[in-house]
Structure 1
């Protein structure tokens, strides 16, 4: 596989990862703000589904394709921008894994509340807060990874 083909797939995967993550976060947040349980339940269902269909494959493909490009280009893994990218990507993953768990829990909680025609519990809203705050460092980390991927150096450090 050529470097340019891998790079193209890597960029498309990154766009899909960002788009799905940001879109899912926006629509979940808007559904939660509506306080309409039917809307919240269906949105949570779709957010979980989008993570399985789009986010998970991209999360797996990103480091594999990145390492393939590093190998083909002959860059040392010890380059600062590569080390920083891997650390930031790992941080995003450490935040994302509990987010997956929280989304599945919130999906089940909102579906049960809808079936039982009752309000969402305070636990749901506590999990929503945790979900939001785990997303902040994950998203910020990914923005920095993209910047490092594009510029291939740390700001103020050179190459």
Structure 2
């Protein structure tokens, strides 16, 4: 493949990844404000689905495109400072997503399936939402820094 094709794949991945993590938070936040068990159960199901499709899919495209570009251009992704730091932050956020956010979403989804039927939202769901929101926002900020590094290449 050519450098340009890898670049298109990379940019598409960035758009899907950063766009999804941003809009998912906004969408879920507004669903949570309804406090409607049916709306929340639907939102939780869609958040989980879009995370796997767009966040994970976007991350895969970012890696395919990024490593493809470095291979074609014969650039060492570890010896180049901005590429090294971009990878460190990217993988750190990925670990937070896999080890913290995904398990929280699984717990929230399980609760949501139950309260969609019972109509009673447990307090533990709101605690999980607060933690998910906090960790989600905190882990989105490094993505913005990685975007800066990609654009500035410094």
Aligned partner of 2:103 among 97, 101, 105: 101
Between the aligned partners of 1:137 and 1:85, the Cα distance in structure 2 is 16
Give the TM-score of the pair, scaled to structure 1.
Answer: 0.89
Between the aligned partners of 2:10 and 2:95, the Cα distance in structure 1 is 21
Match of 2:150 in 1: 149
Match of 2:27 in 1: 27
Give the TM-score of the pair, scaled to structure 2.
Answer: 0.92
How many corresponding residue pairs? 152
Conserved 8 A contact 1:10-1:66? yes
Between the aligned partners of 2:150 and 2:71, the Cα distance in structure 1 is 15
Between the aligned partners of 1:137 and 1:65, the Cα distance in structure 2 is 25
Match of 1:111 in 2: 113
* Unaligned 5+ runs, structure 2: none
Match of 2:83 in 1: 82
Q: Which has the higher helix share?
A: 2
> 1:137: Cα distance to partner?
2.5
